[in-house]
Amino acid sequence: MIENIRKYTGLIIVVIVVLVLGFIFMDTSGLFQQRAGGGADYIQIDGRNYSQGDFNRIGRNPLNLAQSLRSFDENGIQIMQFASTLMSGAQTEETAAQNFFACRMILKEAFDEFGVHPSQQEIEKFIMGLSTFQVRPAPGAPPGSTTGEFDQAAYNEFIDSFIGRLGLKESDLQALVRDVIATTKLREIIGDGLTVSRDLAETSTIVNTQQIEASVASIEIAPFRESIKPSDEELRTFWEEVKDGYMTEQRIKVSYFIAAPTYPEAAADEAAPEGEQTDEQKAAAADAKAEKEAKEIEAKAEADKQLAIEVDSFVNELTDADGANFDALIEASNWKLVATDWFTPSSVPDELKIQPRATSLGKSVADQLFALTTGPDALAPFSKAIAVGQDQWLFARLDALEEPRIQTFEEAKEEITKRYIDEKADEALKEHVEGKITAIKESMEAGKSFAEAAKEAGLTTTELGPFGPSDTLSDGYTAAELYTPASSVNPGEIAEPIYNEKQAIILSVIKRQIIKDDNRGQQIDATMERLAADNANRAFDAWLTQRLENAEVRDLTKG
């Protein structure tokens, strides 16, 4: 036994070092987060104030967790639908998190009101059904596929090493899943009683499975754009009408440092002895090399650990002093502080385009810098310690902030000119198309075919089909844009004109054919289920939107 241990000394040393590294290199960004529990009031919902700690624990961080669990299995889709519904069409990341938080608080009351309380067994079953936590099949299987078996190791890894980065625990994952399940049930309760006509479902099924033959003519928009030459006076008048939609980008100045560990120089390799070596000499040399490499890894790990301790100490001292000692701490630590000039999200300095090593999902370093504010908390201008590169830490202070403002006419002139030309060209094209359609209809009423009437109006026609909603068409036309307008038009009639960024399309239906299908009954049943789900979703979304509006959500950081 002792002989075996001696024989594998090098391997044992490497294994021990790897285990040490597993601790040292785990994501420690949670250690460097500014204190989030409690604190000043951050958001108000229905007259009640909540702290930033509450907001992060129930809103922002669980939203990041939900986004990390996106998958296309049934349960993953429910999570995506839940997150999307609660974000309620928000246009910014912060508003999305605020809506998510507010809606969770609203739903919590609704669950009690309607008596919707999923059991622990339901929660665990749902989690085990997520493909994220299922065993992957052997190589060669389709991407994203699983065996359907629960992977306890993958789940443990997710709980032990991932959600802690978000400041969450296993109970927070279970609470999120509980709300997803309860929301699905509540959606069914609110949508209950909304009936779907089978006749409507049958009509919808037939309309969406018919085959269509059509004749089309197109009119390019490019000549209309080229003919429009606006004066400055016209542009300024137009600008006054639309200027509120033209804002500058947010601008910031920051001071930051990037701390890197100092590694000891690697020792030179020992020269190999001359002549033939015995097996024992080869084994001894291998052990010596493994031991040397292990010591180098251990030394680097110790340097990384020491840097992590220094950064942690820096953050703690900075927090204790409410940020007042930032410059003094930098100087004492011998870190180089870099001050930037103004920059925007589209002009981030190359030095700050460095990738995070372990940070909040989907957030680059720049994203985190632009999320900094000047108050009301004294620590609001300071970032958390961001793990970047392979072994570095970045920390930043917001020095100046310029919120978006309405652009001046000169700043927006190029964009305004393009918009003015596009809108005027669209108006001219529509007027031109209406004139052509009127002329074509008059000729068709006189007995001419659509092709003959279009030719008389100076247009060239193309016959297409038969085609379904997803078929490929010729001459650059797509079934996706033609099928729906044509699907409810009688043969011999002209559909509403179709506009895209390049052209207008005038379409006349030649024939619509219903294809016999022995599975029509099943198709109608499926359509009824889809329409019922759509009705329930619309009813629930309207109910939640109204509740959200009534709650009068206020961001207390903006006064």
- Reported as a single tens digit per residue, the pLDDT across 425-448 is 999 999 999 999 999 999 999 999
Q: Which two tokens stand for residue 373?
A: 């504010």
Answer whether 363's CB lies under 8 Å from 386's CB: no
pLDDT tier for residue 36 given thresholds of 50, 70 and 90: very low
DSSP symbols for 140-195:
TSPTT---S-B-HHHHHHIIIIIGGGGT--HHHHHHHHHHHHHHHHHHHHHHTT--
Say whether pLDDT at 559 is over 70: no
In terms of DSSP H, where are the helices of 457-514?
479-487
pLDDT tier for residue 256 given thresholds of 50, 70 and 90: very high
d(C-alpha 250, C-alpha 345), whole Å: 7
Q: What is the mean pLDDT of residues 10-24?
A: 37
What residues form DSSP beta bridges with 406?
Answer: 247
Say whether pLDDT at 214 is over 70: yes
d(C-alpha 496, C-alpha 135), whole Å: 52
Where b means 16+ CB within 10 Å and e means fewer, 395-431 reads bbbbeeeeeeeebeeeebeeebbebbbeebbbebbee
Looking at per-residue pLDDT, the higher value among 358 and 250 belongs to: 250
What residues form DSSP beta bridges with 400?
Answer: 253
In terms of DSSP H, where are the helices of 446-458?
450-456
pLDDT tier for residue 252 given thresholds of 50, 70 and 90: very high
Side-chain half-sphere CA neighbours of 282 within 13 A = 5
d(C-alpha 425, C-alpha 502), whole Å: 11
Q: Which two tokens stand for residue 257?
A: 């440092």
Q: Which two tokens stand for residue 21?
A: 């590294």
Answer whether 118's CB lies under 8 Å from 178's CB: yes
Strands 392-402 vs 48-51: parallel, antiparallel or unpaired: unpaired
Say whether pLDDT at 224 is over 90: yes
Percent of the chain with pLDDT over 70: 88
Query: Residue 119 has what pLDDT?
Result: 95
**What pTM was estimated for this model as a whole?**
0.56
d(C-alpha 436, C-alpha 457), whole Å: 6
- Which range, 9-13, 494-498, 509-513, is most confident? 494-498
d(C-alpha 369, C-alpha 361), whole Å: 15
Say whether pLDDT at 507 is over 60: yes
What residues form DSSP beta bridges with 480?
Answer: none
End-to-end CA distance of the chain: 72
Instruction: Give 149-208 pLDDT, tens digit per residue.
Output: 998 988 988 888 778 767 788 999 999 999 999 999 998 888 776 666 777 777 677 677
Q: Which two tokens stand for residue 134?
A: 């299922």
278 residue type, one letter? T
DSSP state of 58: I
pLDDT tier for residue 9 given thresholds of 50, 70 and 90: very low
Say whether pLDDT at 381 is over 90: yes
Say whether pLDDT at 20 is over 80: no
d(C-alpha 505, C-alpha 178), whole Å: 50
Instruction: Give 383-403 pLDDT, tens digit per residue.
Output: 988 888 878 899 999 999 999
In terms of DSSP H, where are the helices of 321-449?
326-333, 365-370, 409-445
Instruction: Give 46-104 pLDDT, tens digit per residue.
Output: 889 998 888 888 998 899 899 888 777 889 899 999 999 998 878 788 888 899 999 99
d(C-alpha 145, C-alpha 131), whole Å: 8
Mean pLDDT across the chain: 84
Where b means 16+ CB within 10 Å and e means fewer, 432-459 reads ebeebbebbeebbeeeeebbebbbebeb
What residues form DSSP beta bridges with 219?
Answer: 504
pLDDT tier for residue 523 given thresholds of 50, 70 and 90: confident
Answer whether 76's CB lies under 8 Å from 70's CB: yes
Query: Residue 362 has what pLDDT?
Result: 47
CA-wise closest residue to 260 among 315, 327, 310, 307 = 307
Q: Which two tokens stand for residue 435?
A: 């004139």
Query: Residue 35 has what pLDDT?
Result: 38
CA-wise closest residue to 354 among 387, 385, 322, 330 = 387
Q: What is the mean pLDDT of residues 532-555?
A: 87
